[in-house]
Amino acid sequence: ERANRGAFSGRSAFIFAAIGSAVGLGNIWRFPAAAYEGGGGAFMIPYLVALLTAGIPLLFVDYAIGHRWRGSAPLAWRRLKRWTEFIGWWQVLICVIIGAYYALIIAWSLNYMVFSVGQKWGDDAEGYFFGQFTHSLMGADAGISFDYVGPVLVTILLVWVAVIITLALGVESGIAKTSMIFIPLLVVMFVILVVRALFLPGAMTGLNALFQPNWAALADPAVWIAAYGQIFFSLSVAFGIMLTYSSYLKKKTDLTGSGLVVGFANSSFEILAGIGVFSALGFMAQAQGVQVQDVVTDGIGLAFIAFPTIISQAPGGALIGVLFFGSLVLAGFTSLVSIIEVIVSAVQDKFGLSRVPGTLVVLLPMAIGSTLLFPTTMGLALLDTLDNFVNSYGIVGAALVSTIALGYIVRGLPTLRDHLNFKGTFRLGIGWETCVKVIAPLVLGVTMVLSAVQLLTADKPYSEYPAFFVNVFGWGMAIALVVIAIVLSLAPWPAGSNKDRPD
């Protein structure tokens, strides 16, 4: 069975793959603005607290489950306790949704990498993105129109072909090797980009804006919640990813030491991205004669509107563009591969399939579905809605349910702790258990309630999209994931899957 599932050749292959998953769009386009809005330099305190009290402790939980029960998310949870299998399927379905739209962002980045050379957007990056490029009809018109957007159709297909090849090559030759090439390349490209940005006029104003501490922000609970949110997303915990990857590790492996390396690498890349992004924003503010606060954005606005503007205005902008969008592609691709592997691994275990058939069974429908739905005039609204709801309810919900199940119902934490301590660099004790049992569920629960209250009390549907659109792709999708997960957990497994601890 094990030979069939695949394995990492060693600890460094695993660490590279795990860093490949962790370092993604969240580091580049989410962290800088989150830090700026959460108190600048002072944000380091809630950020580190969140990292140490929830991020790393939950990362260890993922590692321990996958490694102790040696299976994909549903199989490992099933072996842990029969009824928790649905949590694993929930994670698989979350990955189906995220994977489908993550591919679109990488596709756009590929388009923009090419566009950077001739600065195709002219002097109106915003108009180009929403108009000629995505043809998005935002707000009330979204979802009504459905037409294909040529250049994106090409790049999204390229992305899926690359994912299929990578995953078909398997755990070591596909997943690990890709990260071992892409991650060092990403670091080199990104460092060049940061150094270039540091020498732009206005860069120092940008850095001052980012690092200047606003201590008063620490009194705002929203800032703490944002810090935990950033950490959960950024470390890719509770998605089933780290669980799946650790199931491919040799039995006697130091899990806790590996986790610290991954956590440290991920946070370092976030700080580096903060420096690069805010240097560039400082330049943009100066070039436009406005304050840095007026140009701060994150996500799609940062990547596809602010950066193209910077590229047009900066000397040597084409190089900045190729480096920036190239970095998004490399960082995003290794994360996408990790997301899809959760699904492939589960399907392989469930149907007893070997690598190539397992990959094709998952990826042909997914690639076709994603290619049919996303490179369209509806793509942006669809991405935006799925992303918001799968994050606020899917990921947070699955993490909440797993910590409660482990801490209070199955009471599995002592077993996991012993497993981690068996070969770990350091001993986990009551402190770790408290983080997983008390701090994590508390923060996750509050986060979920707050976002639900905010959405339910707003007088317009999310992003002012048509109500039916939000009901189907937002609430409907989030609820359907749980229902389908429960149904899937009732179906039988191939003989032998129930063994508690297969060798």
28: contact with Na ion by CB under 5 A: no
Considering only 22, 28, 197, 207, the residue that binds Na ion (CB under 5 A) is: 22
The yes or no reply on residue 279 touching ligand PHE (CB under 6 A) is no
Burial of 430 from C-beta contacts in 10 A (0-12 / 13-18 / 19+): exposed
Q: Is the dihedral of CA 152, 184, 366, 239 positive or negative?
A: negative
Residues sharing a CB contact under 8 Å with residue 318, sequence separation 6 or more, in sequence order: 116, 117, 118, 119, 311
229 part of the interface to Na ion, by CB under 5 A: no
Is 263 a binding residue for Na ion by CB under 5 A? The answer is no
How is residue 408 written in tokens? 């209070």
Residue with tokens 């979920």: 448
Report the run of H or E that residue 481 belongs to, with start and end: helix 477-488
Evaluate whether 227 touches 38 at the Cβ level (below 8 Å). Answer: yes
Q: In this chain, which of 179, 234, 327, 345 binds Na ion, going by CB under 5 A?
A: 234
The minimum distance between CB 257 and ligand PHE, in angstroms, equals: 20
Task: Report the distance separating Cα 203 and Cα 385, nearest Å.
Answer: 34
Question: Please, what is the minimum distance in Å from the beta carbon of residue 394 to Na ion?
Answer: 18
Q: Could you tell me the end-to-end alpha-carbon distance of the chain, in angstroms, rounded to an integer?
A: 8
327 makes contact with Na ion (CB under 5 A): no
Using the rule CB under 6 A, which residue among 239, 283, 304, 333 binds ligand PHE? 239
Residue 179 interacting entry, from ligand PHE, Na ion, none, C-beta within 5 to 8 Å by type: none
Of 27 and 109, the one with the shorter C-beta distance to Na ion is: 27
Is residue 109 within the footprint of ligand PHE (CB under 6 A)?
no
Q: Map residues 87-106 to x or -, x wherever contact with ligand PHE holds by CB under 6 A.
A: -----------x--------
Q: Which one among 19, 25, 209, 273 touches ligand PHE, defined by CB under 6 A?
A: 25
| Out of 27, 109, 247, 388, the residue judged to bind Na ion by CB under 5 A | 27
Site track 333-352 with ligand PHE (rule: CB under 6 A), x = hit: --x--xx-------------
The number of angstroms, rounded, from the C-alpha of 285 to the middle of its chain's C-alpha atoms is: 29
Decide: is 397 part of the binding site for Na ion (CB under 5 A): no
- Residue whose tokens read 């590929």: 110
Q: Report the distance separating Cα 276 and Cα 264, nearest Å.
A: 19
Q: Which residues pair with 133 in a beta bridge?
A: none
Closest separation between CB of residue 162 and ligand PHE, Å?
16
Three-state secondary structure string covering 267-331:
HHHHHHHHHHHHHHHHHHHHHHCCCHHHCCCCHHHHHHHHHHHHHHHCCCHHHHHHHHHHHHHHH
Region binding ligand PHE by CB under 6 A among candidate stretches 82-90, 228-236, 272-280, 482-490: 228-236
Shortest Cβ 330–ligand PHE spacing (Å): 12
The single residue among 53, 134, 234, 247 that binds ligand PHE, judged by CB under 6 A, is 234
Contacts with ligand PHE by CB under 6 A lie at 21-22, 24-27, 98, 233-234, 236, 239, 241, 335, 338-339
Contacts with Na ion by CB under 5 A lie at 22, 26-27, 234, 266
